[in-house]
Amino acid sequence: MVSTILNASLQTLYMVFFSTLLSVIIGFIPAVILTLTAPDGLRPNKPVYEVLSFLVNVFRSFPFIILLVIIIPFTRFVAGKSIGTTAAIVPLTVSAIPYIARVFETSLRETDPGVIEAARSFGANDWQILFRVYIKESIPRMLNGIVLLTISLVGYSAMAGTVGGGGLGDIAIRYGYQSYNTDYLIICSVILIIFVQAVQMLGNYLYKKLS
């Protein structure tokens, strides 16, 4: 039992860590494009903004379990296989990208327009404003977004069991719920609670430190 749960914990950590990391890196790009092309952005561009915004919404409206299944061919293409812990990272990342893109966009666009105007008045160009003002000022808010994402990915990773992803959620469902083994259910849940708490506390600490 101990080794099963330890193994599952590591699988959860593995899935959550890599899907968070990848989605943050990839999701940052549409977030920046959305921020730049928004009506109040540095390079307002209605068609680009509307299309990208629509795509983000489309991907966000898929229930995760459905997304998991319909992108199996894509998962196979990227991960080389469609089942297993590593393969589960693909749908987790795909579902997290539009979410984090929207969160980052909101964080970036919350930057005080007065500060942007001040930067412009001192002769800053658009790139300098993007990096030295927008991104720099938004880091604590974006960090909060990453914490929220990590925590919801812990929940999603439980469903990854459907494609053989393993993890604590999977053990809780199969060994605990379906096999009427309450011990597994409780232990897995407690570990997940501790995990979520730890992420939140680390996030709060970093937010304080960075802002």
CA dihedral angle for residue 14, residue 19, residue 22, residue 23, rounded to 10 degrees: -160
Which amino acid is residue 56, in one-letter code?
V
* Residue 172: closest CA among 163, 160, 182: 182
What value, to the nearest 5°, has the Cα angle with vertex 139 and ends 133 and 10?
155
Rounded CA-CA distance 32/53 in Å is 12
CB atoms within 10 A of CB 20: 23
Q: Which is nearer to other proteins, 116 or 151 (CB)?
A: 116
Residue 122 DSSP symbol: T
Residue choice 57, 179, 182, 211 for contact with other proteins (CB under 8 A)? 211
Residue choice 106, 128, 144, 152 for contact with other proteins (CB under 8 A)? 128
Report if residue 115 touches other proteins, rule: CB under 8 A.
Answer: yes
Nearest approach in angstroms of CB 31 to other proteins is 18
- Tokens for 63? 């229930």
Report if residue 120 touches other proteins, rule: CB under 8 A.
Answer: yes
Q: Which is nearer to other proteins, 20 or 111 (CB)?
A: 111
Residue choice 50, 112, 193, 201 for contact with other proteins (CB under 8 A)? 112
What is the residue whose two structure tokens read 């506390």? Answer: 201
Report if residue 73 touches other proteins, rule: CB under 8 A.
Answer: no
Rounded CA-CA distance 61/68 in Å is 13
Choices 53-61, 70-78, 114-122, 201-209 (CB under 8 A): range interacting with other proteins? 114-122
Nearest approach in angstroms of CB 134 to other proteins is 11
Report if residue 137 touches other proteins, rule: CB under 8 A.
Answer: yes
Q: Which is nearer to other proteins, 50 or 117 (CB)?
A: 117
Q: Which is nearer to other proteins, 10 or 124 (CB)?
A: 124
CA dihedral angle for residue 127, residue 128, residue 133, residue 136, rounded to 10 degrees: 90
Nearest approach in angstroms of CB 150 to other proteins is 22
Across the chain, which distance is largest between two alpha carbons, in Å?
A: 67
Choices 66-74, 119-127, 155-163, 179-187 (CB under 8 A): range interacting with other proteins? 119-127
**Where along the sequence are the contacts to other proteins (CB under 8 A)?**
112, 114-115, 117-125, 128, 132-133, 136-137, 139-140, 210-211
